[in-house]
Structure 1
Amino acid sequence: MALENVKDSIENIKIDSTFINDIINGIYDWVRVIDRDNNIIYMNKAMREAFKNYRPGDKCYKVVCKDYPCENCISRKAVFEGETQKKEEIIGGRIYSVMSSPVKNSKGEIIAVVEVLHDITEIKNMQNKIIQQNKKLMDDLKIAKKMQCNFLPKHLPEDKIDFSFIYKPCETLGGDFLDIFNIDDDHVGLYIADVSGHGVSASMLTMFLRSTINKSMPSPAHTLKNLYTDFNRSGFDSDMYITVFYAIIDLKNRRMIFSNAGHNVPPVVFNKNRFELLRVPGIPISNWMDEPTYEDRVIDLQKGDRLFFSTDGIVEIRNKDGEQFGEERLLNILLNDDSEPSSILARIVDSAGEFSSAKSFDDICDDITMALIKIK
C-alpha cells in the first residue's frame, strides 16, 4: 500500500524546470551557475536575498567585492579539468565552503559550472576553539609530565648500591611508577607500581601513591595496609586500583623485607649462584574488600646480588606474529650479563625493540618500567 502511494505521488509531480527551480530555491545554501566567461546566469533564492544588488549577468567575482577574477578561481579550474573543485572563501566576514562542479550538455561539453556555497563560520570557530583548548591541554600535560618525571629517583647511597632504571610511559603521562629513597643511613626503601589505565587518570593515581605512602614505617606490609585504607577514604571508583611491590633494604645487615599488593611481576634476586623470585600474595590497593591482609617476608642478601623490578609492560611486548617477549627472554639477558645495571637495561631495551620490529623503543605502545639494583 505504501509503495502504491509513492508511485501515485511520483505520477502527480510534474518534473519540469519550475519544479527543479523550487527545489533549488528551497536550499539554505547559496547556489549559482556561472558560464565559461565568468557571468552569473542563475542564483537561487537564498543567494539573491543575500546579494540584492547582484543579478544574473553580473561577473561572479563582483559578488565577493572584487574587480577581477579570483586568483584561486575554482570555477575556471572546474571548466578546464572537468572535475569538481573545492575551496574556502571569506565573504562579508563569514567563511564559506565553496564547491564548483562542471555542467555538461548532451554532447559532453562543459558549458558552465554550478557553485554551492555553504556557511561554515560556526564550524570553523568551533574548530579553532578546539585547537586552542587542545594546545592548552598539551601544555598542561607537558607540565604534568615534567612534574611526574621530577618525582623519579635521583639521589641514592652510591657507595652501597648501584642503581639504574628505565621509565617509558605509553602516553604523555604514565600509569607506572617507581621510587627508591633513603630511609636512614642503613636503610633504603623502594617500590614499583602499576595503576589501572593510562594517561591523566592513571598519572593521578601515581601521584596519590607517592604523596600518601608512609616511608617511615619499618614494615612494608603495614605500609601497604595503611595505603589501602587511605585509598578507600579518597573515594576512588571501583575500576581504579594500584598494584605495588614494596621493599626495605637493610644495607648494613644485607637483608630485605618486602610485601606485595597484587603486583603480578615478581621481582628477582640473583647472582652467579642464586636465583629467587620474590613471590608473596596480596590484593591490589583498591576498594574491592574491607579488610585485606598483607604479609612481610625477609630475604638475606649477599655482596654482588642483583635485584630486578619491573611492570608487565616489558614482558607483554609483542612481535608481528603476536608472540610476547616473555619472561624467558628477559631472564636470559639478566642471568647472562655481568655488566653494570645501566648496560644490562640498555641491552633489554635493544632486545625488546628488535623483537617487536619497532622503529624505536619509544614506538612501543605500553607503559614500560624497569629497575636494577646491585648490592656492593
Structure 2
Amino acid sequence: METHESIILIYSSDTETIDSIFDFCELSQTKSLRLVTCPNEEALDDHLDHHECSLVFIDLKSFPDGNQLDAIAQRVSPKPTIAILPELDQHLLIRALRNGADSVFTQTEMRSDPLELVRCLDRQLQRAHAIEETRYLRDTLSKSLEELKADQDAAAQIQQRLLPPAEQTLDDGLHCEYILRPSMLLSGDFIDLINLHDNKHLFYLADVSGHGASSAMVTVLLKNMTNRLGRLYNRGDSKTLESPMALLKHFNREILLTSLGKHMTMLVGVIDLNNSTLTYSIGGHHPSPLLTQGGKTVFLEGRGMPVGLFEEPIYEEHCIDLDEQFSIALFSDGILEILEGDNSDEKEQNLRLQCQDFDLTPEQLLKRLVNSETEMPDDVAIMMVSRRC
C-alpha cells in the first residue's frame, strides 16, 4: 500500500481548541497529517459526503448535543472519534463514551498533559491506518478476484466452443450425446466426436489430472492436436485417427514434449458402421466403458497406461462386433465420487445396473445419481454413443 496522508477532521468552532489540536498534531510521530476544520454541521457533512478521513475530533463545548456525537461516530466507524469535554464531568464522560467516542479528553487535560493526548492521537492514527490498509487490501483482492472471474468466464466460453454439440445424430442412426459437469468453472474433462471416411466415427473422453485452469489448458491442447491430425487425415497424409491405439501413442508423445507436468486418462473408440464394429483402446482410464446390447450390460475389457506419463507406454487395441442396436457409455472418474457403494467394485456394479436402461440419457443418469444443485467433488463427464433402430 502506498504512503498517503492521514486526514484529521476537527469539528469545532472554538479557535483555542482548534489551535491546541494543531499544536498537538505537530508533535505527533505520524507523518503526512492533514488537518481540516469544520466549524459547523454543514461543513462537516460536506466533507464526509465527498472525502475520507482517518480520525475526528469533536468539541463538545461547541457542539454539546450527544445525539450528534453518536451520529458522527456511526458515520465514520470503524475510524476513531476523540471527544473533547469542556470540563471533567462524570455524566458528560459516560455519555460521550456511550455515544461512540473512542477516547475522551478535557480542555484542562489538553493544557496540563499535552503529551498524553499526542500518544493517544498516535495510537488512534495507527488503528485508523490499519483499518485503511485492510480496506485497501480487501478492495484490491476483490478487484483481482473479479478480473480472475472474468478471465475464467471467458476461458470457459472458449472451452465450451471447443466441444462438439451436446447431442447429434449421425449416419445410419448413430446417436451421440453427453453431459459435462465441472467441479469448478473450468473443466479437466473433455469429449470429442469426429466423422471419418468410409462411415467411420471417432469418439473419445479424456480426463486430465487436477482441476481448474491448468487442466482446462491441456484440453485446449488436446483439441488442437486432434484438429491437426484431422487436417492430415483429410489430405490423406495420416491414418492415425482411425486407430485408437495409434492416437493414444500420438497424444502421449505430444503431451510429454510440452513438459507441462500434466497427464490424462482416455477412452478412445472408432465405430465402423459398414462392418458394425467397435475398435477401442483404454489409456489408464477408470471406470471402463459400458456396452449395452442383446439385453446385457457389460464393462469392456482392456488395459493401458495413462497418457503423458511414460515415454514408451503400453496400450491395447480391441475390436468387437456391434448389434443392430447398442449403447456405449463412457464416464470420467468423477462419476465414482458420487456413486453409492463402500468400495470400487460396489460402485461399478451400481453404475452397470443404472445403465441397463437402454433409453437412458446422460442427463437422466446424472440426475439419478446426484441432485442438480449438489457441488461436484470432481469433474463429471458422461458420454453415450448409441444406435437405437
Question: Normalised by the size of structure 2, how large is the TM-score?
Answer: 0.68
The 1:149–1:30 alpha-carbon spacing in structure 2 relative to 1, beyond 3 Å, is closer
Measured after TM superposition, the shift of residue 134 of structure 1 is 3.1
For 1:280 and 1:78, locate their aligned partners in 2 and report how far apart those are by CA, in whole Å. 80
Which residue is equivalent to 2:335? 314
Q: Deviations over 1:302-339 (max 9, x none)?
A: 011110101121221178x999993333322211x243
For 1:232 and 1:134, locate their aligned partners in 2 and report how far apart those are by CA, in whole Å. 32
The 1:200–1:158 alpha-carbon spacing in structure 2 relative to 1, beyond 3 Å, is same
Q: Percent identical across equivalent pairs?
A: 22
Which residue is equivalent to 2:155? 144
Measured after TM superposition, the shift of residue 99 of structure 1 is 3.0
Alignment of 1:73-88 (within 5 A): 87=76
Alignment of 1:14-163 (within 5 A): 45-46=27-28, 50=33, 66=44, 87=76, 98-100=79-81, 109-112=94-97, 113-114=101-102, 116-117=124-125, 118-119=128-129, 124=135, 127-154=138-165, 156-157=169-170, 159-163=172-176
For 2:295 and 2:46, locate their aligned partners in 1 and report how far apart those are by CA, in whole Å. 88
Which residue is equivalent to 2:268? 246
For 2:81 and 2:316, locate their aligned partners in 1 and report how far apart those are by CA, in whole Å. 74
Alignment of 1:248-267 (within 5 A): 248-267=270-289
Aligned partners of 1:77 and 1:85 also within 8 Å: no
Letter in 1 for 2:299: L
For 1:299 and 1:140, locate their aligned partners in 2 and report how far apart those are by CA, in whole Å. 44
For 1:276 and 1:348, locate their aligned partners in 2 and report how far apart those are by CA, in whole Å. 17
Letter in 1 for 2:382: M
Query: What count of residue pairs does the alignment treat as equivalent?
Result: 320
Measured after TM superposition, the shift of residue 269 of structure 1 is 0.6
The 1:302–1:165 alpha-carbon spacing in structure 2 relative to 1, beyond 3 Å, is same
Structure number having the greater helix percentage: 2
For 1:297 and 1:350, locate their aligned partners in 2 and report how far apart those are by CA, in whole Å. 32
Give 3-state SS (helix, strand or coil) of 1:66's partner.
Answer: helix
Aligned partners of 2:163 and 2:192 also within 8 Å: yes
The 1:105–1:189 alpha-carbon spacing in structure 2 relative to 1, beyond 3 Å, is farther
For 1:105 and 1:232, locate their aligned partners in 2 and report how far apart those are by CA, in whole Å. 80
State yes or no: 1:226 paired with 2:250. yes
For 2:199 and 2:82, locate their aligned partners in 1 and report how far apart those are by CA, in whole Å. 81
Pick the aligned partner of 1:347 from 355, 361, 364. Answer: 364
Letter in 2 for 1:134: L
Letter in 2 for 1:346: E
For 1:69 and 1:129, locate their aligned partners in 2 and report how far apart those are by CA, in whole Å. 25
Which residue is equivalent to 1:212? 225
Aligned partners of 2:172 and 2:273 also within 8 Å: no
Which residue is equivalent to 1:303? 324
Aligned partners of 1:74 and 1:86 also within 8 Å: no
Structure 2's unaligned 5+ residue stretches are 59-65, 104-123, 231-238
For 2:35 and 2:204, locate their aligned partners in 1 and report how far apart those are by CA, in whole Å. 75
Measured after TM superposition, the shift of residue 86 of structure 1 is 7.4
State yes or no: 1:369 paired with 2:347. no
